[in-house]
Structure 1
Amino acid sequence: MTCRVKAEGPGLYGGVAIGQPTYFTVTVNAAPSSRAKLDVQFSGPEKGEVVRDSEIVKHHDNTYTVKYTPVQQGNIGVSVTYGRDHIPGSPFTVVVMPTLDLSKIKVFGLHVKAEVGRDQEFTVTSKGTGGQGKVAARITGPSSKPVPCKLDPGPISDNNLVRFTLPEEGRYEVDVTLDGVPVPGSPFPVEGVPATNLSKVHTYGAGLKSGMAGYPAIFTIDAKDCGDRGLCVSVEGPGAAKFECRHKSEGAWTVTYLPMRPGEYIISILFSDTHVPGSPFKAHVTLGFDHPK
């Protein structure tokens, strides 16, 4: 009579972490009168104890639960025999990874508000976390339907880029896991908000066109009709140009910058990573009256 035996479970194929208990199941399709015995042996990459707390638990339905805790890192061998014969797949090779350290995982670039219909992305870095380093993300929308998201490797090792687009306004939850374990702070709440109408952003002031070295240059940003989501201002030129952005009123800002050298200065004004009308601006800065030549 043919005896069919199979083994499966996280202790053979899943992510196994050093020092963490795991298990697998052995199913035997044989007559109840069979006297054959199940035996499991472990071998490791180093001398000494490979696992601890190993136990074989027999159940009444001809299944066995094999429990163990790996204490060596790397590839360990798991030999499973029944009646002294190796079962299919035995000996198994199990990769034992370092224990997960979730305190080292970082999620950045994920904002509490995201504009509907615009491409969004955030970064998950898992450097030094141990384990298999498998990052996964899932986004659920206000209608409880999943939102498609794409996970790509970042430009730096152990970095992952998650890209998505929210289809409607409302509350979303972003679940981020590492090797199937939720990272600290997950699920992250994100509110889908209407897209900014950049045509409603107005900019004015002499500082957008000209200035004098050593003297403050000023301009104003008026976005009362589209909110203040993701405002970004930068001033670049031939010399240092410290600048200050002050709230003038709700949805309006006064920007003051101090160009130190004459030349052309590039002023970029962005909302949600998109230039407002006219940006980038070019301001021609001349020598001040008392500026040394």
Structure 2
Amino acid sequence: RRKPASIRPRGEGVYVAEFTPQTEGPHRIDINWSDKPVRESPFNVQVLPSFEPQKVIVDGPGIRNGIPASLETSFRINTREAGLEQPDVSIKNPEGVLVSSKLIDNKDGTYKVIYKPNDVGRYIINVNYGGIPVLNSPFNVKVEPTGDPTKCHLSGSGTNSSVQVGEEYTITVDTHDAGPGAVTCRIRSTAGSDLDIDIVDNEDGTFNVYYTPHNPGNYVVKIKFGGQDVPGGDFIVT
């Protein structure tokens, strides 16, 4: 299909022709002067994609095996040689559930991805560029346990077996002797929905878990440190 070019004089018998290809692949350019082809016309050119996902480079600790569970990690996406598009990242935990991640544009052709793997096991990281998987994507990374959860101790109002609807409760996790790691927690109702919780690192070797039950019924509490179960950290409140 023919596409006309825009032609403008530049002076001294020189002309500039401009055109915008709409599709990638082979194109033929015909240049005529006084209705006759100029020397070597037609010209055959190959139009490349506006972006090349195979030229995206992904590196950093967040895509390597041996990531410590419960601790924040990151990796970098380098798109400098890949054309103008946007990266897209999705991360799934060993249960196939999407993990929250943060994509930061460094404004220099690179991006930083931050996420926190709470559970031990295999994580699947998909990195797309312009909707197409980049080289080596998806990344299959193994998250390892860290610290010693047997040295953790629980206390606070949130450990009581009986709780009141609408009241906030606190679970304090003492991790002084547990080594490197962080506390993670999930509180699930009998209906199968997860309760919104807040986990605060007090930066003194303890963590506070805050939760407020909004409906009557049983709630299953599971507390981990470094991706491993804390003794006494699997209980039911009503």
Q: TM-score range by the shorter chain?
A: 0.3 to 0.5
Relative to its length, the structure with more strand (as a share) is: 1
**Which protein shows a greater Rg?**
1
Superposition TM-score, scaled by structure 1 size = 0.39
